[in-house]
Amino acid sequence: MSLLDLLFATEDCACGPRTRVYHIVNPFKTSWSDLLPSFTKYCTSDLEVVAFATWLEALQRSSPGKRETPAARLMGFFEKLQSLGDDQVAVLDTTEALKLSRTLAAPGPVNEAWVKHWMEQWGFYAGVRRDIGNEDRISTQDLFLTTLLTGPYFLAIKISLLWYYRSSFLVHQPWLLIAWWINLVYIILWAIGTTIFYIFQCRPPHYYWLRLFVLFKIDGPSSPVSGTCHSAPPVLLALPLIFNLISDFGILLLPVTTLLRRLTRTRSKLGLIAVFSLGLLACVCEIVRIWLEVTISAFEDPTYANVTFGIFTFAEGNVAIAAACLPVIAFQWRHLFKSFQTTQNNGSGDSIVSLNPRQDIARESTQDSIHSQDQMDGSSQESTG
């Protein structure tokens, strides 16, 4: 912004015929002594604070193998800086630049927040605070393949749920059947779009894992690594998760209205609510994943920051699978319990366990209707009496 201010400035400067020179530097002075506590606070390694001359002597005595470090490459600069006295250090005049650019004075002096941001950036680009070793080179490709399988993974779970609804929950109402087809088409399109999005999040696609070799100092391919990845805002990168959450709620609410209307007994309704509460837990996991995707900084340590995201990803899938299986398991456990009671009462094991949940729901709906009719008849008799 300071450069733009100076570029479009129209105010004349009392420079005479000389070339105008503006120093775009922070006009506020901050000593290293004041910044050292902040650097030591945000650095995970134990730092020993020494004088500049002592540090320079240690740098000069460094082994040849360490001469490729950035500090060693600037040896001449540091030696020249050491030879200058305090009164010989050049101080750039920012008076004229401040006249034409108020933006230059806006940031203020260097503070702890700046130091924290710098430490995060240096850690991201220089490999500091990274715990990825070079013993498992294939893990970077596994990460890419795992990302690609996200769409098919959740698609299989949701199709199984929808198919169970169609075969078990009496979807004979026209509006319910239309809603079922809308959900099916939606999740198929979501899975295709998500897979394409993740495949081409980097160009070329293999740059997704090749860049990690350079980033984490892993011994990778000898050929140069070049490419680009998405630099979109986090909200756009979270779109596949947001669309997934919409389908989660759509599938979760699809059978609830019909079954709550058919089942009149409180015990049946509570059982249904308990079963589908597990599906609601999967939606909660998805919401947490969206929040993590939006809030995780690109400069955070991915070896730590991505762990929580991965945990909730696995949790959501496993909870969704459990939600798909619980209705069948509940029906079978109930019939097994009834079969056991019948065996105990009759002294024989000829009881038959039903394996058709649709018949179970139809039977329960019929029993609920009979139960409601009996209550109405009883109320009518009392009124007549």
pLDDT in tens, 290-301: 988 887 755 555
pLDDT tens, residue by residue, 47-63 = 677 888 888 888 888 76
Q: Any bridge partners for residue 266, and if so which?
A: none
Neighbouring residues of 109: CB distance < 8 A, sequence distance ≥ 6: 26, 28, 29, 30
User: What is the 3-state secondary structure of 116-149?
Assistant: HHHHHHHHHHHCCCCCCCCCCCCHHHHHHHHHHC
pTM score, whole prediction: 0.54
Which tokens belong to 311? 């945990």
pLDDT tens column, 332-367: 777 777 776 666 666 544 444 344 445 554 455 445
Q: How confident is the model at residue 243 (pLDDT cuts 50, 70, 90)?
A: very high
Q: Is 258 helix (H, G, I), strand (E, B) or coil?
A: helix
Going by pLDDT thresholds of 50, 70 and 90, the confidence category of residue 268 is low
CB 370 within 8 A of CB 266: no
The first and second tokens of residue 346, run together, are: 């009759």
pLDDT tens string 200-242? 888 788 777 776 666 655 555 555 567 777 656 667 778 889 9
Q: Does the pLDDT value for residue 161 go beyond 70?
A: yes
- Say what the pLDDT of residue 190 is: 93
* Residue 324 confidence (pLDDT) above 90: no
The encoded tokens of residue 93 equal 């005049």
Q: What is the pLDDT of residue 191?
A: 93
pLDDT in the model for residue 354 = 43
Higher pLDDT, 113 or 231: 113
CA 91, CA 324: separation in Å to the nearest integer? Answer: 70
pLDDT at residue 266, rounded to an integer: 61
- When pLDDT is cut at 50, 70 and 90, the band that residue 184 belongs to is very high
- Please enumerate, as own/partner, the contacts of 366-370 that have beta carbons within 8 Å and a separation of 24 or more: 368/262, 368/263, 368/264, 368/265, 368/268, 369/264
Tell me what percent of the residues of the chain surpass a pLDDT of 90: 6
Contact (CB, 8 A) for 187 and 148: no
Q: Is the pLDDT of residue 145 over 90?
A: no
| Gap between the Cα atoms of 259 and 252, Å rounded | 12
| Integer-rounded Cα radius of gyration of the chain | 34
Please classify residue 290 by burial: count the beta carbons closer than 10 Å to its beta carbon, then call 0-12 exposed, 13-18 middle and 19+ buried.
buried
Number of neighbouring beta carbons within 10 Å of residue 54: 10
Quote the CA–CA distance of 309 and 326 in Å, as a whole number. 26
Q: Where are the alpha helices (DSSP H) in 200-238?
A: 207-215, 234-237
- What percent of the chain is helix, strand and coil (3-state, nearest 5)? 70, 0, 30
Let me know the angle formed at the C-alpha of 297 by 282 and 319, rounded to the nearest 5 degrees.
Answer: 10
Check whether the bond before 204 is cis (ω within 30° of 0).
yes
Of 113, 91, 123, nearest in space to 35 by CA = 113
**pLDDT mean across residues, the chain:** 71
Helical H runs in 8-108?
Answer: 32-42, 52-60, 70-73, 75-83, 95-100
Determine the distance from the C-alpha atom of residue 45 to the mean position of all C-alpha atoms in its chain, rounded to a whole number. Answer: 28
Q: What are phi and psi of 167, to 5 degrees?
A: -90, -15
